[in-house]
Amino acid sequence: MPQVKIIAKNFMDMVASLPAIKLDMLYRNQFICEAILRSLPPLAKKYVLQMLYIDVPVTSKSLMEWLLADGSSKHKVAIDRLIQLRILEVVDRKKETTYKLNPTFQTNLRKHLVYGGILPREPMPSSVTARLPTVEELDEYAHDKWERFLLQLISPGQAETATSFSSSMMRIFQRGLIRQREKEAPRLTESGFQFLLMDTNAQLWYIIREYISNSEEQGVDQADLIAFLLELSFHTSGQAYNINTLTDDQRIMIKDLADLGLVKLQQGRKESWFIPTKLATNLSVSLTDSSSRKQGFVVVETNFRMYAYSSSKLHCEILRLFARVEYQLPNLIVSAITKESLYTAFENGITAEQIVTFLQQNAHPRVAEKIPSVPENVTDQIRLWETDLNRVEMTPAHHYDEFPSRDVFEAASDFARVHCGLLWEDAKKMRLIVKADIHMLMREHLRGQNRVWQRDTGGSSFDDFTSKAPCMQYMVMISALVLVETGIAADILLNSDWEKDLPQDPTGRFHDFKEYVKSNLDIFKWIGLIIILGQGLSILLATVLRALGPNNCSNYDSDEEFPSPARLPLISNHAQQPPYVIGDSAPFPNKNESWNTTK
């Protein structure tokens, strides 16, 4: 079963992946410096704040003195994170490793802490805006928008109202979440199924990450979009901000963010404004922060029954991905986890760990405090049912046997190992099984080894049979020609109206040729008889030439699906035992069988 893992990053992972020049440009914004400081691990924050007013490099030994006795593991994580974000710069590695803060980051963070920051836009006065939604109404709006967005992914027909996404958002869906063929309805991909079982924060980061990645194709700078999103996280939720303060690229982006429920757009008589929701103001919150996660609703019993206290259609559709929904009440969804429903989920690309994690993250408060929140017999059985599908891993392979010498076997084994294709070897019986991917390379290697061995021992090589290949080709061509001639002759003799099968000849030349043949019929009979006898003698001669000499048919490389029985010469057989056999991996061929190559 194919395993597709979808990874959701937060802003700091995206910032760390930017080039150094763009990072320095981001650090010119004081709010971005504060947002990055918020996202750092606690120990990394301590290092930044203690080094903020130190202008000389700090040695690694001095940093270790700021640690507690058990903080060595956290120290490495903190240092790696600061270096990835280019907040720390390594000054000297020759004598002793020293660090100093990025000058741009250090200067702007100092200014922000001392003087405070001013956002590029201020909230609009209440006299201009209409009645703004309350915090509860805004949360409900954001939740409804996000739920409608996810419901549109699962089943477009389940959405209560038609949702029209922008072209930018549709490109994100089609990139990895939705697959659509001609004249077919859109379908979720394996990544799409996994996306639905993610935490809300992880889903949000995945969409934002793909949106920013897609922006470069439209000619928009990634750093500018990241800077705008980080600035948006410092806006006040529930306050109205004038859209006219945004640039053209930011106006396009704010409309896309409204589709996801991050902002709410409103139109007044003269002005238009946007209102950030909690989804937008929490953008700088790390994925590991559990405070922003919503309350769970699922209770799983030891008998594999599952009760979801929810009236959401989205929750019902998500549960259908891995469970059998039995009935739904106004505020309760009753379902059961069955082997068949889980097999369907596994075939769609959902893993057992994702299902278990979803159940644990969405556990009802009554059971979330228990350890474990999901019964162990249920989680263990889910993992066992997944392993049932992965008991045997099929790998196309080829089996090599009966090597002429130990040196040839060891050379072939080393060759397969170097090319990462060796699956199994038996040094005692000199047998190998290698991946089918390197079969062509292995075959050429064995040809060369066989020629060297045959030359040293005075035997024949693979080329003996190759030299007889033209005889076989000639015999096949002549046989096909005789069959065609026989068919034409039979049609002329048995079909009295055979002339009607031919196209009309307006020139009359065919009629003249027919009259000429009739007038000289005896001569043409002798000519036809001589041609047929010559072709028959040619076939016989080719057969004799092929049969003479050693039978090297066992050295012929074939990629047919099934092994064919050994081909013996018609006249004499001076065949030697093949130097080695290449055959199917199971069962191993007998010594008397001719070699074959199958997958």
Are 156 and 264 found together in one domain?
A: yes
Residue 312 lies in a domain: yes
Bond preceding residue 372 cis, omega within 30 of 0? yes
Residues 157 and 275 in one domain: yes
pLDDT of 573 reads: 44
Do residues 231 and 154 both lie within one domain?
A: yes
Q: Report how far apart, in Å, the C-alpha atoms of 8 and of each of 85, 451, 547 are.
A: 18, 55, 67
- Same domain, yes or no, for 156 and 189? yes
Running DSSP on this structure, what letter comes out for residue 59? E
Number of residues assigned to the chain: 599
What pLDDT sits at residue 448?
Answer: 82
The one-letter amino acid code at 509 reads: R
- Does residue 511 form part of some domain? yes
Rounded Cα gap, residues 364 and 332, in angstroms: 12
Number of domains in the chain: 4
Q: Are 382 and 510 found together in one domain?
A: no
Establish if 450 belongs to a structural domain: no
DSSP-assigned letter for residue 187: E
What is the C-alpha separation between 482 and 575, in angstroms, rounded?
31
Q: Which of 389, 411, 433 is the last residue of a domain?
A: 389
Full domain range(s) for residue 261: 135-281
CATH of the domain at 38: 1.10.10.10
User: Considering the domain boundaries, does residue 212 fall inside one?
Assistant: yes
Same domain, 522 and 473: yes
Q: What is the pLDDT of residue 158?
A: 53
Contact, 590 vs 573, CB < 8 A?
no
Q: List, as one string, the DSSP characters of 557-574.
A: ----SSPPPPP--SS---
Q: What are phi and psi of 533, to 5 degrees?
A: -65, -40
> Are residues 168 and 265 located together in one domain of the fold?
yes
320 shares a domain with 274: no
CA distance 48 to 38: 11
Is 75 a member of any domain?
A: yes
pLDDT given at position 323: 94
378 & 258 share domain: no
Calculated CA dihedral for residues 263, 268, 270, 273, nearest 10 degrees: -10
- In terms of Cβ atoms closer than 10 Å to its own Cβ (0-12, 13-18, 19+), residue 107 is middle
DSSP classification of residue 123: B
Which positions ≥6 away from 361 have C-beta within 8 Å?
Answer: 199, 293, 296
pLDDT at 289: 47
Is there a contact between 97 and 61 (Cβ–Cβ < 8 Å)?
Answer: no
| H or E element at residue 433 | strand 431-435
Q: What is the chain's pLDDT, residue by residue, as a tens digit (599 residues)?
A: 334 444 445 566 777 878 888 888 888 888 888 888 888 888 999 999 999 999 888 888 888 888 877 777 888 888 888 988 889 988 876 677 889 999 999 999 998 888 876 777 788 887 777 678 888 888 888 888 888 878 877 765 555 554 556 666 666 666 667 776 666 666 777 777 878 887 777 788 788 878 887 777 777 777 888 888 888 888 888 888 988 888 888 888 888 888 888 899 988 778 888 999 888 887 765 444 444 446 789 999 999 999 999 988 888 988 998 999 999 999 999 999 999 999 999 888 888 998 999 999 899 999 988 888 999 999 999 999 998 887 777 888 999 888 888 888 888 888 888 888 888 888 888 899 999 888 888 888 888 877 776 666 655 444 454 445 566 676 677 778 778 877 777 777 777 676 767 777 777 777 777 778 778 878 877 887 888 788 778 778 777 776 775 444 444 444 444 444 444 444 444 444 444 444 444 443 443 333 444 44
List the one residue out of 141, 104, 135 whose CA is nearest residue 30.
104
- In one-letter notation, the amino acid at residue 487 is G
Question: Do 234 and 175 reside in the same domain of the chain?
Answer: yes
Neighbours of 557 (CB within 10 A): 15
Give the end of a domain, one of 257, 281, 305: 281
Q: Is residue 286 part of a domain?
A: no
**Predicted pLDDT of residue 101:** 92
Distance CA 53, CA 106 (A): 8
| Predicted local confidence at residue 587, as pLDDT | 40
Instruction: Tell whether 459 is covered by a domain.
Output: no
110 lies in the same domain as 194 = no
d(CA 63, CA 72): 11
| Phi and psi angles of residue 94, each rounded to the nearest 5 degrees, phi first | -75, -60
Last residue in a domain, options 281, 309, 332: 281
Q: Do residues 318 and 263 both lie within one domain?
A: no
pLDDT at 204: 80
Residue 303 lies in a domain: yes
Going 248 to 251 to 256 to 260, the CA torsion angle's sign is positive
Burial letters for 485-515: b for 16+ Cβ neighbours within 10 Å, e otherwise? eeeeeeeeeeeeeeeeeeeeeeeeeeeeeee
How many of the other CB atoms lie within 10 Å of CB of 354?
20
